[in-house]
Amino acid sequence: VINGKFTFKGNKELKGGMYLVVLSNNQYFDLIISEQYFSFSTELNNLVGAMTFKNSVENPPFYEYLNFIVQMQQEVNPIRLQLENAENESKIKLQNEIKEIDNKVKSYQNKFLNDNSDKFFSKIIIATTEIEIPKAPLDSTGNPDKNFPYLFYKKHFWDNIDFSDERMLRTPIFFNKMDQYLE
């Protein structure tokens, strides 16, 4: 580190994936490594919001996504606090506001995936998407099969992970999913 600027250097290429950069004051940020030579700039008091990149294809859309999510969290957090003490019509109104923000996030996420289908971060988003379990078929007694949701979930747990892309191994997503699966 020289005058607030630092360089990562090594004799071997850094393998692609999502890396965490940890600063000495308990602050951190993520970088997607696909390209070997790129630069970024940010501010210590606004690591995500002030982040800019040069010569990186993957990181700018990733940070646009992060900034949108931060903005939506800032909108929804006060509503969630109000919801804790709300009753009746007020509670329903607040729940609807939260639902609107959730829908905005889902819409943004869908657009992001469509516009950035070639980006690694899109694979990460898809990997974090929970499997939707269909309605259980009826068992021999005419009741919904109680084992179906578990068996379906177990069988399709890894459906959203792209195992053909080794960069997925170097993400927190893969470790967390593996841990969840084994537990």
DSSP 8-state symbol, 55: S
pLDDT (tens digit per residue) in 162-174: 999 999 999 999 8
What share of the chain in percent tops pLDDT 70? 100
Task: Quickly tell me which residue has 């210590």 as its tokens.
Answer: 44
Is residue 101 scored above 80 in pLDDT?
yes
- Residues whose CB is less than 8 angstroms from the CB of residue 136 and which lie 6 or more positions away in sequence, other chains included: 144, 145, 146, 148, 149
Which of 130, 85, 78 has its CA nearest to residue 101? Answer: 78
Q: Residue 171 has what pLDDT?
A: 93
Structure tokens given for 78: 């006060």
Could you count the other beta carbons within 10 Å of the beta carbon of residue 136? Answer: 15
Q: What amino acid occupies position 82?
A: Q
Average pLDDT, integer, range 99-104: 96
Which of 27, 75, 76 has its CA nearest to residue 51? Answer: 27
pLDDT (tens digit per residue) in 53-68: 999 999 999 999 999 9
Quote the pTM value: 0.85
- Residues whose CB is less than 8 angstroms from the CB of residue 93 and which lie 6 or more positions away in sequence, other chains included: none
Q: Residue 82 has what pLDDT?
A: 93
